[in-house]
Amino acid sequence: MNLQESVDKIVASETIVANRFYELFFERCPEVRPMFEKVNLTTQAVMLTMALKAIREHPNISNASKMYLQVLGTRHQRAEIPKQLYPAFMESLLATLQEFHGIAWDDELERKWRDAFEAATQLMHEGYEKRFHI
């Protein structure tokens, strides 16, 4: 399975991967829960799904998707989300994707997702530094 097929399966599924991700992320990192007290998790799930769609294009992420990820980074910076949380976020998301894909998950798919997350994280970190707006 490639990254595009993985994202398409996530988007087409009736299972809301983003909701499960936040459950797992809060279990693994309870210290982040207060950062989400005033956040609408339904909206947050949509935003995460949009980010996954942007990552779907890796390694040829379009300019629009790059800008979305940079703006998302700026929003995280404004919300005072520390960059140091990104590795825990990524590990929780990988665990969620592994759970979602079941036996279709393998080392190659995990590597593709890791590479894509690292590229997305770099773009989001640019948003911390340059303050992107739409």
pLDDT at 117: 93
How far apart CA 85 and CA 3 sit, in angstroms, is: 24
| Parent domain of 39 | 3-130
When pLDDT is cut at 50, 70 and 90, the band that residue 58 belongs to is confident
How far apart CA 24 and CA 133 sit, in angstroms, is: 30
pLDDT at 104: 94
Identify the CA nearest to 72 among candidates 11, 9, 127.
Answer: 127
CATH code assigned at 99: 1.10.490.10
Domain count of the chain? 1
The whole-model pTM stands at: 0.87
pLDDT at 46: 85
